[in-house]
Amino acid sequence: MTRTIDRRQLLRGATLAGGGLALSAYMPAWAQTTSGGIVKPMPTVSGDDITLRVAHQMMMIDGRESHAIGINGTAPAPLIRLREGQNARLTLTNALPDEQTSIHWHGLILPFQMDGVPGISFPGVEPGKSFTYEFPVKQAGTYWYHSHSGLQEQMGHYGPLVIDPAGEAPIASDREHVIMLSDHSQLHPHVIFRKLKMQGGYFNYQKQTLAGLLRGEGQSAKERADWGKMRMDPTDVADVTGSTYTYLVNGHGPLDNWTGLFRPGERVRLRVINASAMTTFNVRIPGLKMTVVACDGLNVRPVTFDEFQIGVAETYDVIVTPTDDRAYTLVGESVDRSGMARATLAPREGMAAAVPPLRKRPLASMKDMGMGGMDMSGGSMAGMDHAAMGHAMPATGAATGAMAGMNQGGAPQAGAAVDHAAMGHTMPAEGAAASGMAGMDHGAMQGGAGGQMAGMDHGAGGMNHSMRDFSNAPGVKKTPTVQTISPMPMDRMGEPGQGLENVGHKVLVYRDLMAVDRNPDVRAPDRAMQIHLTGNMERYMWAFDGEKLSEVKDPIPFLEGERVRVTLVNDTMMGHPIHLHGHFFELVTGHGEFAPRKHTVMVQPGGTATFDLTADAVGDWAFHCHMLYHMHAGMMQVVTVRPRGGDAA
């Protein structure tokens, strides 16, 4: 197949887009309510010399006007379309009257001084000043860009960035659309952050109630008491919710119904970007299967599924092939099911399909509290939640797999002997089980370590004593930021994400992803390390290893060319999309030299995610949770990459 662009079709699309212009004057052309699909060239935002002017403006969402920060008069910011191999030259002018700004090119491999993080890669751009980013474009794919100053990103200072490949397009499609998901509130982001600081559950209007208990909803009274004893709220799935957010597709609310056109039978490539401040989306198109072809910009081998979870700052390119002459609804449901982003794919403008109702909000489980191996009542392996595991295992395998999860708390000593990711699968023999047990290192588990899984069948209350045991996380500082420490975090990269365990159709998981090209560096890691994701919902404090960026003494150091296996351990009950600037890393998901390479990885609640990083980009780089208010609360660090042999600064 070759890429076919039908010019008349494109022109028609452009005309349709024009019809919506009067209503959406603030919207860039690619995000007009009815879009014929993005095409190249995009004259206003591509080329060798691009000018981007950041300023206050208004934006219109579902008929309501609100204040925004946009670029070149559009909010969200315009699509930037580059070509692999070109030299990008992008001049940012700060027209904000009284605050700094910046642009970070999310996922781009570039010199660190062009990465756009004030205080790490450059000083920032003062009001009235300009800054020119210049770098060679070394990659292709779907990316995005956003402010790294204050909380501007929440106000519209973000946009898609698409880089066309230098040669022939390796992924054939007849048409493509950018699907940029985001969240918008009428509240100023500083107000949102302050409210969270005052009351962590401020925006959660899906808490468990007495009325719910009487109706038989949610947890039983006993479970509620057990969780209450631990001061953990199982409904705490998202911090900022649909109670204040309107969820957007390409800057449009659900009522606006942004529409992407197709002709029946076409292969349509959707470049899905989660440009939210805080929202993890579960994306599906009822009636259409999706096939992923790229993740975080890089090509992956096709996998077909019905739904996928996209963490903040991730991108997924999926192919859909709608054959019927009808409209389809694209649903981006917030992970806490408090609202949805909605768009339509249709053969013609003005069509709409049924919008499915919001599904029931998920409740956090024991596994989400980091009791990975505990999720098997009755002590019987057969009772293990195979669906949630993302992969079933034979009876003995289940025991060992669970043990593997437990092992991760003590990874340093276990790491040399066993590959965590592999252990997430199966170990064939009882001997392996024994080694897994040997690596177990939890005070709380001593009683159960005799090899009987039944020993772990505690109720929640029974585990109370171990929910903040620092011996499970030796590197974590004992600070008020640490509300809990996962006693037995398990690798959850084979799981579909919170609330998607039993949705009745195929959900993409990280383990499904596999790179098309052999990984550029297939050496064994020189060393392994853990970083704990810690937080305190009551004080709304977030940090790595218990220390906020405002408190840390030292950055996280790497040597140039060093290859390190990094395990992120989520000690909180919330998923965190963790982003490392300036690098791609390989997920350790059992795919050897064809590991999927990503710039942002979701670490599921109470679980772990492991990647191998080749620190090949000298400089200082930001490393943070991409939930904006988590980062703002302190869940950020600086990663340094220094030449070997030390060239002193």
Partner 1 sequence: MKALSLLVAAAPIALATPVTAQDHSMHNMPGMTMPAKPAAKPQAKPTAKPRPPARTKAKPAPKKPSPAPAAAADPHAGHTMPGMTMPDAPTQADPHAGHVMPDSAAVATPANPHAGHDMSGMAGGMSHDMGTGGTALPPGNAPAPAAPKPNYADRVYSPQEMADARAILRGEHGGSTFWQVNFNLAEVQIRDGRDSFRWDGEAWFGGDINRLTVKTEGEGEFGRSVDDAEVQALYSRAIGPYFNLQAGIRYDFKPNPSRTYATLGFEGLAPYWFDVEGALFLSDKGDVLGRLEGYYDQRITQRLVLQPRAELNFAAQDVPENGIGSGLSDIELGLRLRYEIKREFAPYIGVSYDRRLGDSARFARADGEGVGGPSFVVGVRTWF
343-402 binders of partner 1 (CB under 8 A): 381-382, 386, 390-398
Q: Which of 12, 95, 539, 561 binds partner 1 (CB under 8 A)?
A: 539
Instruction: Report if residue 324 touches partner 1, rule: CB under 8 A.
Output: no
Residues near 210 by Cβ (< 8 Å), separated by ≥ 6?
Answer: none
Q: Identify the H or E element spanning 307.
A: strand 307-310
Cβ nearer to partner 1, comparing 368 with 571: 571
Query: What's the distance, Cα to Cα, between the start and end of the chain in Å?
Result: 52
Say how far apart CA 162 and CA 81 lie, in whole Å: 5
Indicate the angle between helix axes 430-438 and 395-407, nearest 10 degrees. 20
Q: Which of 33, 299, 466, 600 binds partner 1 (CB under 8 A)?
A: 299
In the shown chain, the binding pattern of residues 485 to 504 toward partner 1, with x for contact by CB under 8 A and - for none, equals: ---------x----------
Residue with token string 């620190």: 615
- Residue 406, helix vs strand vs coil: helix
Instruction: Report if residue 339 touches partner 1, rule: CB under 8 A.
Output: no
Piece in contact with partner 1 (CB under 8 A), picked from 40-48, 195-203, 277-285, 370-378: 195-203
- 159 and 79 in contact (C-beta within 8 Å)? yes
Q: Considering Cα of 539, then 580, then 576, then 184, what sign does the dihedral take?
A: positive
- 292 and 507 in contact (C-beta within 8 Å)? no
Say how far apart CA 149 and CA 142 lie, in whole Å: 23
- Minimal distance, residue 520 CB to partner 1, in Å: 10
Question: By CB under 8 A, what part of segment 456-485 binds partner 1?
Answer: 464, 468, 480-483
Question: By CB under 8 A, what part of segment 16-75 binds partner 1?
Answer: none
Residues 431-449 as b or e (16 or more Cβ within 10 Å = b): ebbebbbebbbbebbeebb
Question: By CB under 8 A, what part of segment 225-264 binds partner 1?
Answer: 225, 228-231
Piece in contact with partner 1 (CB under 8 A), picked from 31-39, 442-450, 573-581, 615-623: 615-623
Piece in contact with partner 1 (CB under 8 A), picked from 61-69, 72-80, 371-379, 521-529: 521-529
Integer-rounded Cα radius of gyration of the chain: 24
Q: Which of 385, 457, 469, 526 binds partner 1 (CB under 8 A)?
A: 526
Q: Which of 43, 63, 97, 167 binds partner 1 (CB under 8 A)?
A: 167
Going by the DSSP 8-state scheme, the letter that residue 398 receives in this structure is H
Question: By CB under 8 A, what part of segment 540-569 binds partner 1?
Answer: 541, 543, 548-551, 554-559, 562, 564-565
- Minimal distance, residue 45 CB to partner 1, in Å: 25
**Nearest CA-CA partner of 232 in 188, 191, 276, 201:** 201
In the shown chain, the binding pattern of residues 618 to 637 toward partner 1, with x for contact by CB under 8 A and - for none, equals: xxx----------xxxx-x-
Angle, CA 235 vertex, CA 229 and CA 383 arms, to 5°: 80
Instruction: Report if residue 221 touches partner 1, rule: CB under 8 A.
Output: no
- Minimal distance, residue 443 CB to partner 1, in Å: 19
Cβ nearer to partner 1, comparing 332 with 390: 390
Q: What tokens does 514 get?
A: 């596999």
Instruction: Report if residue 208 touches partner 1, rule: CB under 8 A.
Output: yes
- Minimal distance, residue 237 CB to partner 1, in Å: 15
